[in-house]
Structure 1
Amino acid sequence: MKKVTFFYIDGCPYCAQARKARAELIAENPVYAGVEFDEIEEHANPEIAEQYDYWATPSMFIDKEKLYESHFGEKYDEAKQHVREVLDRALEA
C-alpha cells in the first residue's frame, strides 16, 4: 500500500469536497481507512508544493505521479469518483 500526498488550501471548497468524499468512501468501504494520507497545506509549505507538478487544489499524488487534480466547477460526484480512484491505486501498490 502506498501513501497519498494530498495538497490542499485552507478554506478551499473543492478541498473540503474531496475530504468529504474520502470520509464517505471510508464509511462505505472501511478498507480505505488503511490508506495513509500526507496532507500538505500549500501556502504553509511552498517549498514542498513547488516540488510537485499541479495547478489546482486539491491534488493527490502517489510518489510524484499526479492521480487527481480538481478543476473549477467540479461537482461532488466527480470529485468522489476521482478520490475513489486514488484510494484504489494506493491499495494496489
Structure 2
Amino acid sequence: MTSSSQRRYDPIELEALAIWMCFQRMRPYLLGRPIIIYTDHCPLCNMMTSSVKNRRVDRISILLQEFNIEKIIHIKGRHNCLADYLSRHPTPREEE
C-alpha cells in the first residue's frame, strides 16, 4: 500500500519501491539466498550496479544491498505473466 505522497512518485521510483516492499515482506525467505529479479521496467536493470541519477532509487538500491541480488533481468511486459502479481492478489498481513 502506498501513501499519498508515494502515489506522486515517478514510474521508476514506484517500481523500485515495489521491489523494496516485496523484499521487506519476504525478508526471512530471501536473506542469504541468491536472487534474480525479473522486471518489465527496463530502467531498473542497472539499479544495483550503477547510479540511476534518482535519489529515491539510489537510496532503495542501497537498502537492497543486504540481499544477494545476482542480477536484474528485463522481460517485455507481454512475456512477464507474473508482473504485478502481489499487487493484484494481496494477502492479508498479520499484525506484528
TM-score (normalised: structure 1):
0.30
Q: Could you say which structure has the larger radius of gyration?
A: 2
Structure whose residues are more often strand by fraction: 1
- Indicate the structure whose relative CO is greater, using CA pairs within 8 Å and at least 6 residues apart: 1
